[in-house]
Chain A
Amino acid sequence: MIRRDDAIGGFFEDLPVLLFVLLGVFVLISASVIVSDRMSEQRRIDWLGSVADDILADILLRVTCADAVGYSLTVAGMREMRLEAATEAAAGDAYYCASVVMLHPSVEWLCSAAKGDPRTASNAGFAETLFSAISDDGSTAIVRVTVLAW
């Protein structure tokens, strides 16, 4: 067995080097994990946004092509509309809440569809549009469609 001071001195001399290298690697790995989390979260938000856009487009298609399926672009027709048929296909695995509300001349909820509990949402995509429709008294109403996907 060989005993001398060289090895002992070399070992303690390398400890600060090891400490700096380990700290540097830890900082790099931590930053990579955080950035990766943020990017995946951003991708999910983008995906939810596109899902909300798709659901909105399907609702608008159903509303504006209403003549073919027996509805017309009237507030009375939208009260009878079943949104689930338009939203289920576009939503896929995502949860959503879609509502059609008349804003003017009076505020009135017309119809809605939902899947899932919004209290569980951590990220969400949002889409909204306005269009005109004929109200019950023949005047031109403003109707808003809002879609929230999570």
Chain B
Amino acid sequence: MPGELFRDEKGQLALMDAMVFFSIAMLVSSILMAQSESVSTSTHSELDWPGVEVSDMLEVMMGASIGTEMTICLDREWEICGSESVAECLCAELCAVSKGFEMSAFDPVNEAIAGILEVLSGPLFRAHVLAVHPQGSSAEPVLAVPGPCRAGDSVHSSSMELPCGHGLTFTIILALEPAALPELM
């Protein structure tokens, strides 16, 4: 029919097919992009501890010398020449505390351990050493250097047993938590 615009349903079906194709293309593209994004971000997170294994760090720290000369005043004076290991110092401290001595007498030891932890953890994380009595009635740590550690998924930790003689064994926990923002500024 000359002069008459030819329209039928075939064109509308083709347009609908094209729109369906476009929608599927958008869907597939967004799935691909989301998948690749999750793969590239799952390898590194701001809360990931990027350094060595925490268990290795605990082992090296416990074997290191305390590095500072000091005198601990208990019922008698205890001279520390600096070459004693952190494990030996912690053992003596935990034994003394379990016998009823004041924890404050061991402040120089705790300060030296806190210094080692600060060097090991770096500026982005804070390291804590906690000592827990496995047979104790309370879950509260007997010792927390430099202070208690907050619980959370972002805390990385490792533990080891520290036999202190006379059947006394403590669990030493090294916990690494991300440093708070004010500490970084």
Q: Are B119 and A104 in contact (CB under 8 A)?
A: yes
A38 to B43, CA, bound (A): 13
Residues from 1 to 48 in A contacting B, C-beta threshold 8 Å: 4-6, 9-10, 13-14, 16-21, 23-25, 27-28, 30-32, 34-35, 38-39, 41-42, 45
A143: nearest residue on chain B (CB-CB)?
A: B60
Mask of B1-44 contacts with A, CB within 8 angstroms, 1/0:
01111110001001101110110111011101101110110010
Mask of B35-67 contacts with A, CB within 8 angstroms, 1/0:
111011001000000111000110011011101
Q: Are B25 and A140 in contact (CB under 8 A)?
A: no
Interface presence of A103 (CB below 8 A): yes
A138: nearest residue on chain B (CB-CB)?
A: B83
What A residues does B52 contact at CB under 8 A?
Answer: 128-130
Interface presence of B85 (CB below 8 A): yes
Interface presence of A131 (CB below 8 A): yes
What B residues does A131 contact at CB under 8 A?
Answer: 60
Q: How far is the CB of B33 from chain A (nearest CB, A)?
A: 6
Q: Are A24 and B36 in contact (CB under 8 A)?
A: no
SS class, residues of chain B in contact with chain A = helix
Interface presence of A112 (CB below 8 A): no
Interface presence of B70 (CB below 8 A): no
What B residues does A85 contact at CB under 8 A?
Answer: none
A32 to B29, CA, bound (A): 8
Q: How many A-B residue pairs have CB under 8 A?
A: 123
What A residues does B65 contact at CB under 8 A?
Answer: 104-105, 135, 139-141
Interface size on A, residues (CB 8 A): 45
A131 to B53, CA, bound (A): 12
B119: nearest residue on chain A (CB-CB)?
A: A103
Interface residues of B (CB under 8 A from A): 2-7, 11, 14-15, 17-19, 21-22, 24-26, 28-30, 32-33, 35-37, 39-40, 43, 50-52, 56-57, 60-61, 63-65, 67-68, 82-83, 85, 116, 119-120
Interface residues of A (CB under 8 A from B): 4-6, 9-10, 13-14, 16-21, 23-25, 27-28, 30-32, 34-35, 38-39, 41-42, 45, 103-105, 107, 126, 128-132, 135, 137-142
What are 27 of the A-B contact pairs (CB < 8 Å)?
Answer: A5-B4, A14-B14, A17-B11, A17-B14, A18-B18, A19-B18, A20-B15, A21-B21, A23-B22, A27-B25, A27-B29, A31-B28, A31-B33, A32-B32, A35-B33, A38-B39, A39-B39, A42-B40, A104-B64, A105-B67, A130-B56, A130-B60, A130-B120, A132-B60, A132-B63, A137-B82, A140-B83
